[in-house]
Amino acid sequence: MAKPYGLLVAGFNYSNAAEGEFNDWYDTEHVPERERTRGFINAQRWLGADDRKISIATYDLKSLDVLQSPAYRAIGGANLSPWSKRMTGKCERICRFEAEQTLPGRQAGPADAGGMMMFAMNVPAEVEAEYNAWYNDEHMPALLTVPGCLSARRFYMVGGTHRYLAVFHLTAPEVPASDAWKQAVGTPWTAKMRPHFRDPLRLVLRRYTRRA
């Protein structure tokens, strides 16, 4: 049986770095290195919808095993290039997630999305069963019906700062502010679950486009 897809997410605030060099590093070295690595399905870059100094990169993986492969280890961790070490040293890290896709299981992010929303959180152990039932049975299906929502995926993380991650690809970053989105999340079950959210990290993003 094929393993679920994995996801690598890297987020920075790059206010202390020169924008041109930051984008040159990502576009000409960092992303191409990973795109050449066996098991990487895609690489997508995003900027904060309200603050373009927020940078998020997402990489769909054939499985999380890819991050333990010799090919990836040769370019990651202690083996980051000198340019990578210099640039990341200038930036404030927002997040680094290594996640396994739980729903739908093996779906890559669409290539034509103009926006993305990601939501990472923890929940107390005693409500995890209901939290997952709410997300799987009501929350995700409702958001998938919202005009402009192209895909909805859930992920679980074994280590790190957060356990749960949801990623929504959108036609535009304005979709979560729409009346249809607000209606989809305005349910009694959602209201019941919200007080249990811990350490929420919600980012609404716009697809990065390299400037000429």
Best CATH choice for the domain 6-207 from the list 3.40.50.2000, 3.30.70.100, 3.40.50.300, 3.40.50.720: 3.30.70.100
Question: What are 132-155's pLDDT values in tens digits?
Answer: 999 999 999 999 999 999 999 999
DSSP codes of every residue in 39-104 = TB---EEEEESS-TTEEEEEEEES-GGGGGSHHHHTTSGGG--HHHHHHHHHSEEEEEEEEEEEES
Side chain identity, residue 70: P
pLDDT of 75 reads 97
Residue numbers in the chain where pLDDT is lower than 50: none
Question: What are 77-98's pLDDT values in tens digits?
Answer: 999 999 999 999 999 999 999 9
pLDDT of 167 reads 98
| Euclidean distance between CA atoms 19 and 33, whole angstroms | 20
Kindly give, in sequence order, each residue whose CB lies less than 8 Å from that of residue 75, ignoring residues fewer than 6 positions away. Answer: 33, 34, 37, 81
pLDDT of 212 reads 67
pLDDT of 159 reads 86
pLDDT of 106 reads 97
Predicted TM-score of the model (pTM): 0.96
